Chain A
Amino acid sequence: MRVLSYDAELCIACRICEDVCSETFFGEADAEKSKIRIHDEGDGLPSASFCNQCGECISVCPTKALYRDKRGVVRLDRELCVGCLSCVGFCPSLVMFWHADQTVPDKCISCGICAQDCPEDALAIIVVDEPPAPAEPYRSV
């Protein structure tokens, strides 16, 4: 499966990835709409939150709107989604995001655009057999 990988040692927390993601999918730079979030408390290495394609959300979805595509990426069929946000509360890494501007949740689909624009090559798309361990959830809901 295609997943995004992140190297905290290389990351400088410039947050270009957040802007790129948001611009790509929403046409505006708004970190609150990005499907990758960089977290930097300034007291150590930064961290990143994004989907590791584990697929736990698939079994929670009441409408089968969430599915795994041929590349192993967990995708949302917006036509089937009823916007219940069950997947948001049940995501073990809290990386199924929602925003008040839209009625459906959103997640990283391993498109790799953020990796292309990462100035430090801290992000990359890799192909793996099993989902990598999820990052610790950092935000509260």
Chain B
Amino acid sequence: MSERAKAARRVLTEFTYEPAMPQKGYTGRTLYVNLSDATIRAKEVTEEMKEKFIGGRGFGLWYLWHGVEGDTKWDDPENEIVISSGPCGGITQYPGSGKSLVVSISPLTEVVIDSNVGGHFGPLLKFAGWDAMEIQGKADSDVIVYIDGTTGRVTIEEAPDVPVDSHKVGHWLIEDMAETEEDRYYMSAVAAGSGAEHSRFGCLNFSFYDRRRKEPRFKQAGRGGIGTVFRDKGIKALVVKTDPVRGDSNHPADPERISRVGVKMHKEIHDYDAEQCRMRYRGTTYLVQIMNDYDLLPTHNFQYGSHPDAPKINGEVWENRFTQGIPDGCWYGCTMACSHAVDGYELRTGPYQGETVIVDGPEYETLGGCGSNCGIFEPWAVMEINFYCDTYGLDTISFGTGTAFVMECYERGILDQEKTGGLELNFGNAEAALELLHQVGRGEGFGLIFGQGIRRMKDIFVEEFGADRAFLEDIGMEAKGLEYSEYVTKESLAQQGGYGLSNKGPQHDEAWLIFMDMVNNQIPTFEDKAEALHYFPMWRTWFGLCGFCKVLWNDITPPDNDMTEEPAKIPEHVQNYVEVFAGVTGREVTREDLITQSERIYQFQRVFNIRLGHGLRDHDAVPYRSQGPVTVEEYESRQERYDTQLRGDLGLDPTGMTTEEKVAALREYREDQYEQLIDAVYKRRGWTQNGVPKPETLAKLGMDYPEMLAVIEPHL
């Protein structure tokens, strides 16, 4: 650390410990930090935790459950931020093994949020000696928490010299905190930003040092406002430093088993990525064109699924903008390398106007949310929004979906310039979207209302602007209080459930079933859809227990995958994970065991939501915009499709019906379909028809803890 950095800070608390590397994926200890009374201590990770909660999101939920009460709010000191990677997190041989999960009570949903993120913090935290970090309390003034795994010292320090915005924190880390170039390799920071202070959808940035660019890079724990909690606790940054990472730092039970399957996967990516998704060249941006082609790309606040200008922001464009030939993995050994960046971007607006920066991304969700959904098809604008959302610590999905919502409200006269403080929020107005973003960063004007998120904006627009509640409920794309991620679900009932029946809110990392359902018609019945809405959410949950990235499961497929019995599951890749999990932990498992591991956590989280006052059937409601056409113009834009459904599924003759009548008839049908889907899914998940996990479901999984049964009992 530089003398300047030392002089500027005052250590409030120091805690020393014996650094110990993980054994078979676990260090056996969690770092507990309470900012209210400035205490730091170690907690034991028990065998029961490893067996039933595995790690990552499981550990986060475990600690949060024990740290809060049923009436704890997001900004109560008892609320926690728990960061944990998982037993396989930090291995380098299998690509996509550096993820962390962050868990907290969300300012948007008021229930548990879990958000997954790359970057080096989680793995380095473990190599500094900690399976998880549990942060509780609130600091009186802004602090950093510094975990020095090289000396075994953790400190809470007053940090007046530390910036707030993430890209500045990244530079502070490598310039002030790191003493040598090599220090930079094995340090990582977590930061939020000024926007997180003025909104409910603050995100966390997890840094990693890019050895080729010699710059800090970031990945985001975007969803649910954990950055807001972070700043509310008075944290400017978490910093970790370790000794050099080695191939065996995680001390797995059977390194050879992991290496064998890891090399196989590297080679599969080498051989097939270029002809499949081209993730190594364009990252997730490849999805823009596909979604547009299938009428799934959200456009103008999810009214439509395609736009003639979509090719202006598609994967081909970004392949040209992203610097090529750099191994852009967000953890060592990720040859999928989808963490691309635009180098040398000169900012045109805001407090950092004129600065030349690296834009981490854009990724698909940012393009869908801040691009097409807002009618913005200018690459510079999406890059500018992307950069500022990141450095202000704002989730690009909530920002994009929220901006699309206020743009539609503006175009329909619900908002006007008087109400927005002069912002002309028409679809496509990139300058207005950017000014709105800077207002959130500064905590000013309409930005403060906007920062509350869609659910609370609806209340404000009804109460203060006299808006029609029912219409806002139809077009405000949030469920459980969380803004939708960027897929149009109108023609996929299963994905309506994939979003609506998720624990944390509508986020695609739990289920993405649109192609299985809508395109390939592989799950035609309610029971088929319910089975998919059991298996896939459980399977996708599993990545976040162990430290894995989902992308390596299905954004590349073995060439013979289509010949397998269940190609949607990609059985060979699932088996890879069996091998890696067993190779790390020494615990032999089957593919089915992985689902059981997840189901324990999934049911636990559902009960946790109920404990926090939500989580019942009414909590799984979705806005009608996600189910079908709300307006006449939406209907008429795809009239042939909808008329065909009226004839075929409803037995109605649309001839002679007004569009309003057709909208109403289709709506009645589709809403009923969703309710029938809920019935089937609850049955498959072992829940009552009110969405409550049954005691026998919990017992079967060994999760019938008395405190969980006490939560569900009043609802049975």
Contacts and interface: CB of A to CB of B under 8 A. Distances in A.
Interface of A: 59-64, 79, 81-86, 88-90, 98, 100, 103-104, 141
Nearest to B326: A59
Given A63-B332, A64-B212, A90-B270, A84 B92 contact: yes
Contact of A89 (B185, B255, B267): B267
A90 B336 CA distance: 11
B459 to A, nearest CB: 47
B586 interface: no
B343 interface: no
Interface string B175-196: 0000000000100000000000
A104 B259 CA distance: 11
Given A59-B325, A89-B263, A83 B211 contact: no
B255 A85 contact: no
A82 B247 contact: yes
Contacts of A141: 263-264, 267
B332 A98 contact: no
Contacts of B259: 85, 98, 100
Given A61-B327, A63-B211, A90 B333 contact: no
A88 B262 CA distance: 10
B69 interface: no
B683 to A, nearest CB: 44
Nearest to B249: A82
Nearest to A84: B333
Contacts of A63: 185, 211, 332
In this complex, the member of A79, A85, A88, A100 whose beta carbon has the largest number of chain B beta carbons within 10 angstroms is A85
B246 A83 contact: yes
Interface residues of B, number: 31
B interface SS class: loop
A127 B259 CA distance: 34
B262 A103 contact: no
A141 to B, nearest CB: 5
A55 B332 CA distance: 19
A84 B250 CA distance: 12
Contact of A83 (B248, B256, B264, B327): B248
A64 B263 CA distance: 19
Nearest to A86: B335
Contacts of B93: 83-85
Contacts of B246: 82-83, 103
Contacts of B263: 85, 88-89, 98, 141
A83 B247 contact: yes
Given A83-B93, A84-B333, A86-B335, A60 B255 contact: no
A121 B465 CA distance: 90
B552 interface: no
B265 A89 contact: yes
Contacts of B245: 82
Given A60-B335, A89-B263, 11 more contacts: A79-B244, A83-B93, A83-B246, A83-B248, A84-B92, A85-B93, A85-B247, A86-B335, A89-B267, A89-B335, A100-B255
Contacts of A90: 266-267, 270, 335
A136 to B, nearest CB: 15
B137 interface: no
A86 B266 contact: yes
Nearest to A83: B247
7 contacts: A59-B326, A86-B327, A88-B266, A89-B263, A89-B265, A98-B259, A103-B248
A46 to B, nearest CB: 24
Nearest to B260: A141
Interface in B237-259: 244-248, 255-256, 259
Contacts of B95: 86
A83 B185 CA distance: 15
A112 B329 CA distance: 35
Nearest to B211: A64
Contacts of A104: 247
A59 B327 contact: yes
B269 interface: yes
In this complex, the member of B259, B265, B334 whose beta carbon has the largest number of chain A beta carbons within 10 angstroms is B259
Nearest to A60: B327
Nearest to B254: A100
B270 A89 contact: yes
B389 to A, nearest CB: 26
Contacts of A83: 92-93, 246-248
A126 B646 CA distance: 76
Contacts of B333: 62, 82, 84-86
Contacts of B326: 59
A113 to B, nearest CB: 26
Nearest to A65: B211
A140 to B, nearest CB: 9
Given A82-B246, A83-B92, A89 B332 contact: no
* Closest 5 pairs between A and B when the two form their complex, measured CB to CB: A83-B247, A89-B266, A84-B333, A103-B247, A100-B256
Nearest to B264: A141
A30 B244 CA distance: 30
A102 to B, nearest CB: 8
Nearest to A102: B247
Nearest to A63: B211
Nearest to A89: B266
B92 A82 contact: yes
A64 to B, nearest CB: 5
A98 B248 CA distance: 14
A62 to B, nearest CB: 5
B323 to A, nearest CB: 12
A90 B272 CA distance: 12
Contacts of B270: 89-90
Contacts of A103: 246-248, 255
Contact of B247 (A61, A84, A89): A84
Interface string B83-114: 00000000011010000000000000000000
A64 B211 CA distance: 7
Contacts of B92: 82-85
A100 B258 CA distance: 10
Contacts of A82: 92, 245-247, 332-333
A90 B92 CA distance: 15
Given A89-B269, A100-B259, A141-B267, A81 B335 contact: no
Nearest to A92: B270
A93 to B, nearest CB: 12
Interface string B482-523: 000000000000000000000000000000000000000000
A60 B280 CA distance: 11
B560 to A, nearest CB: 14
A11 to B, nearest CB: 27
Given A63-B332, A89-B335, A90-B335, A81 B247 contact: yes
Contacts of B269: 89
Nearest to B257: A100
B424 to A, nearest CB: 45
Contacts of B332: 62-63, 82, 84
A90 B271 CA distance: 8
A88 B270 CA distance: 10
A63 B332 CA distance: 8
A26 to B, nearest CB: 16
Interface string B313-335: 00000000000011101001111
Nearest to B333: A84
Nearest to B97: A84
Contacts of A62: 211, 327, 329, 332-334
Nearest to B268: A89
